Amino acid sequence: MKQIAKTELDTLFAAITAEQKLYIPADDSAGQAQFTLWRPGLALSGRLNTARSAKDLFFPQVENLVGFRMHAGAIERVETREEPEDFVIFGVRACDCRSFSILDRVFLSEPVDTFYQMRRAHATVVTLACTRPEETCFCAAMGVDAADPAGDVTCWLEDGTLLWRANTEKGEALTEKLPMLRPCPADAADAQQARTRALMQKLPLAKLDLSAFGAGKTRALFDRPEWASLSEACLGCGTCTFVCPTCQCYDVEEFRDGSSVRRFRCWDSCMYSDFTKMSAGQPRPTQRERFRQRFLHKLVYFPENNDGVFGCVGCGRCLAKCPIHMNIVKVIKTLGVTHA
């Protein structure tokens, strides 16, 4: 375990930037925290979580996959991919860190998504433990420990001091390049961890019951009549999917530019009426069916195919951002009620 005074964070950040790119949560002009490339004078946000998750740095909202050019009657493939540079992402909360393992199950399974794979390989994740969780947080119900997040390095801010613990070879390698970090007792974060865990137990959603969900529950939940009332007010705006750290749906589009074609990947949402639309039509033509797909995927389909792991990390972004206040917690509470 090592430490540095909070007043010396700029020195720490400058030293990291001398080696590789550094992203930190910083407040934007709208007052929301976003992961931003660090520069001198950019302050670390004091907000609990960023408006959009750290997923963006591994699975960006829009990316250019490849290009094609017509030349002498033949189609020439134009490589647009650039090898990512090494980078550090600092201040990742426990929920977002857990989301990486969920995305890994999707993008690093065969066939491997090499765009995502390269970014993961070049990144060093430095997490920051929570001290003041919000009422919308329910990460503990998803098995996430906000007081001791994973990552290559775990940090705690305690009494004006940043505590630093390397967890992996990447974390050790980064730590060795930061001589301003000074040794401290291995148990320096214990008191803060105990306080945070006690706070988590007092949150409104601390005892969220997930026993009605998980692998093998499709038959019991698929035809429940409550889906109609739950989805009735849904706008299909996709906000929940765009702020979610674990949503991974995307569309691939091609754009012609004279004699060349560019192929892009961009985020998509299962809540949209044209999602996966084919020549034969929309496989889920009603909002009820699309709404059901989103939540059953998180709570049943994903754990069915991924060793029981839920496709949600309890970050609470969808609770805070949904314009009609419909979210995964309301679905869990409604469908978790036992009917005779």
Over the chain, what is the mean pLDDT?
Answer: 93
Q: How do residues 266-287 score in pLDDT, each as one tens digit?
A: 999 988 887 777 767 767 888 8
Compute the distance between CA of residue 240 and CA of residue 244 in angstroms, rounded to an integer: 6
Interval 79-127: pLDDT, tens: 888 888 999 999 999 999 999 999 999 999 999 999 999 999 999 999 9
Q: Are residues 179 and 133 part of one domain?
A: yes
**Is residue 224 domain-shared with residue 194, that is, in the same domain?**
no
Same domain, 239 and 107: no
Q: How many domains does the chain divide into?
A: 2
CA-angle at 154, arms to 50 and 317, nearest 5°: 25
Q: How far apart are CA 329 and CA 99, in angstroms?
A: 18
pLDDT tens digits for range 200-246: 999 999 999 999 999 999 999 999 999 999 999 999 899 999 999 99
In-domain check, residue 260:
no
- Pair (192, 47) in one structural domain: yes
Give the pLDDT confidence of 316-335 residue by residue, as tens digits: 999 999 999 999 999 999 99
Residue with tokens 């754009």: 255
Residue 47 domain-assigned (yes or no): yes
- Is 119 part of any domain? yes
Q: Find all residues with CB under 8 Å of 138, minimum gap 6, and list them.
A: 203, 205, 206, 208, 314, 316, 329
Residue 10 included in any domain: yes
Q: Is residue 257 part of a domain?
A: no
Q: What is the DSSP letter of 84?
A: P
Q: 179 and 223 share a domain? A: no
119 shares a domain with 16: yes
In this structure, is residue 256 part of a structural domain?
Answer: no
Question: Does residue 118 sit in the same domain as residue 13?
Answer: yes
Domain that holds residue 283: 218-246+271-335
Same domain flag for 132 and 91 = yes
Is residue 317 included in any domain, yes or no?
yes
**How confident is the model over 144-201, as pLDDT tens digits?**
999 999 999 999 999 899 999 999 999 999 999 999 999 999 999 999 999 999 999 9
106 and 18 inside one domain: yes
Q: Do 152 and 10 share a structural domain?
A: yes
